[in-house]
Structure 1
Amino acid sequence: MAKAVLTISSKNYSSWSLRGWLLCKLGGLDITEERVPIDAPGQRAELLLLSPSVLVPRLTRDDVSVWDTLAIAEYLNECFPEAGLYPADPKTRAHCRSVSGEIHSGFHNLRSALPMNLKARHDSFRLFAGAKPDIDRVQAIWRECLSAYGGPWLFGDKPTVADAMFAPVATRFQTYAIPLDAPSRAYSATVLGWDFVQEWTAAALAEPEEMEELDAEF
């Protein structure tokens, strides 16, 4: 069997690449990373258009090519059901799919106001008012899941697809010093301390600067 290849873009800026990479790690899939330069055709558009459905990240394995983070999650769940990417209980699994789909398709104001940038830190950040309902909704999802399933992850004692999908949001909240309620702070700390997130972040910080700050929100 040929080794799987995950095509990604910038580790510093691309939240979708992070999600796809975390999903592969959760699935236990041994991957080779293939990097698409951020100035390659389509990659700047990926960031500027806030698109969750471009061809990065793309997982290639044998004669299968899968893109879009939720498609990657479903493919990995089919291939590696023992990895537990989704909760075992059907009702809980449906809940996990629902919140994962919500962050995948929504929260456009949050993405625009708080672009992912792992190298940046803002002690005080003037937040676009339109992003506040998105931030409140994220915290409501986190509180609901933590209360229902006991934490420290959204669906219990191990990370799932939902945690991979929300991980870039936790990094954004850290970058822009967003005030969070106590359960959300605890969960965010869990995500930021996740060994896979730590590994990705270290690589992002070592990444050479390939562009100046984007001249539009991303």
Structure 2
Amino acid sequence: MALKLIIGNKNYSSWSLRPWLAMTALGIPFEEILVPLDAPDFKDRVRAHSPAGKVPVLIDGEAVVWESIAILEHLAERFPEKNVWPSEPVARAHARSLATEMHGGFGALRSVAPMNLWRPVEPRTLPEAALKDVRVLVRRWGEARRRFGEGGDFLFGAFSGADAMYAPVATRIRTYAIEVDEVAAAYVEAIHAHPAFVAWKEEGLKETGVLPEDEVDWPTVKRV
């Protein structure tokens, strides 16, 4: 039975991007079901699959998994050969720690710099709390690249679940022209150049639904 992944708008839904990107990049086949975030019956349609009423939701036969980090862990168990996490134990522990920190942290940056793929690259003044988040991100990325990044352009060399978790933040760094060091800037470029991310963004740019809360220039909607 094919896996099904229920997601929201590709332009805006950072949480949906995470498992979609992981599954696509790692070659895990699935059926995509997109429920627009602004649909009047959004909650009802998603709750038909998940009690949380939020996207993403993974349906794997009788197993229903919500929350991006839980989906990644389910995929790691279900498809061990796909290397959702690094195979080396120390690197794997580090990757899981980074992914979990992303899942529960960096709220200040996320709140003032929402993922918005169609917004032109333009700087935005960030409050100190968001800048602090950026400094932490730069340290985390730099440490992972130095310790485990040999052999590839991603945090642990090859693309992994940790990169899927941080991909939406990489889009924020670019969209809002946030200054980072050379290591972080190269990582942002690597995420944007990955074929799976390119495919996601191409579809996101075709969307028409607008979410005012994710348009920092509202009531103006800027599009590339």
Same fold (TM over 0.5): yes
User: What does 1:93-172 align with in structure 2 at a 5 Å threshold?
Assistant: 93-149=92-148, 150=150, 151-156=152-157, 158-172=158-172
Structure 1 residues 185, 11: CA separation in 2 closer, same or farther (over 3 Å shift)? same
Give how far 1:72 is off: 0.6
Question: Is residue 14 from structure 1 mapped to residue 13 from structure 2 by the alignment?
Answer: yes
Structure 1 residues 22, 215: CA separation in 2 closer, same or farther (over 3 Å shift)? closer
Provide the C-alpha distance between the structure 2 equivalents of 1:75 and 1:141, rounded to a whole number of angstroms. 25
Provide the C-alpha distance between the structure 1 equivalents of 2:102 and 2:167, rounded to a whole number of angstroms. 11
Provide the C-alpha distance between the structure 2 equivalents of 1:91 and 1:215, rounded to a whole number of angstroms. 37
- The aligned amino acid for 2:175 is T
Q: Do the aligned residues in 2 keep the contact of 1:87 with 1:160 (CA within 8 Å)? A: yes
**Partner of residue 47, structure 1:** none
Give how far 1:3 is off: 1.7
Aligned length: 206
**Partner of residue 90, structure 2:** 91
Provide the C-alpha distance between the structure 1 equivalents of 2:33 and 2:160, rounded to a whole number of angstroms. 24
Q: Do the aligned residues in 2 keep the contact of 1:7 with 1:33 (CA within 8 Å)? A: yes
- The aligned amino acid for 1:164 is A
Residues 101-120 of structure 1, C-alpha deviations (whole Å, 9 max, x = no match): 00010110010111100000
Q: Do the aligned residues in 2 keep the contact of 1:13 with 1:116 (CA within 8 Å)? A: yes
Once the two structures are aligned, what percentage of the paired residues are identical? Answer: 39
**Partner of residue 72, structure 2:** 73
**Partner of residue 177, structure 1:** 177
Give how far 1:89 is off: 1.2
Q: Secondary structure at the match of 1:12?
A: coil
**Partner of residue 49, structure 2:** none
Q: Do the aligned residues in 1 keep the contact of 2:57 with 2:66 (CA within 8 Å)? A: yes
Question: Is residue 30 from structure 1 mapped to residue 29 from structure 2 by the alignment?
Answer: yes
Q: Secondary structure at the match of 1:214?
A: helix
Q: Secondary structure at the match of 1:32?
A: strand
Give the aligned CA root-mean-square deviation in angstroms. Answer: 2.0
Q: Do the aligned residues in 2 keep the contact of 1:23 with 1:72 (CA within 8 Å)? A: no
Flag structure 1 segments of 5+ consecutive residues without an equivalent: 45-52
Q: Secondary structure at the match of 1:165?
A: helix
Provide the C-alpha distance between the structure 1 equivalents of 2:134 and 2:40, rounded to a whole number of angstroms. 32
Q: Do the aligned residues in 2 keep the contact of 1:27 with 1:80 (CA within 8 Å)? A: no
- Taking structure 2 as the reference length, what is the TM-score of the superposition? 0.86
**Partner of residue 202, structure 1:** 202
Give how far 1:31 is off: 1.3
Flag structure 2 segments of 5+ consecutive residues without an equivalent: 44-51, 217-224
Provide the C-alpha distance between the structure 2 equivalents of 1:17 and 1:76, rounded to a whole number of angstroms. 15
Q: Do the aligned residues in 2 keep the contact of 1:121 with 1:174 (CA within 8 Å)? A: no
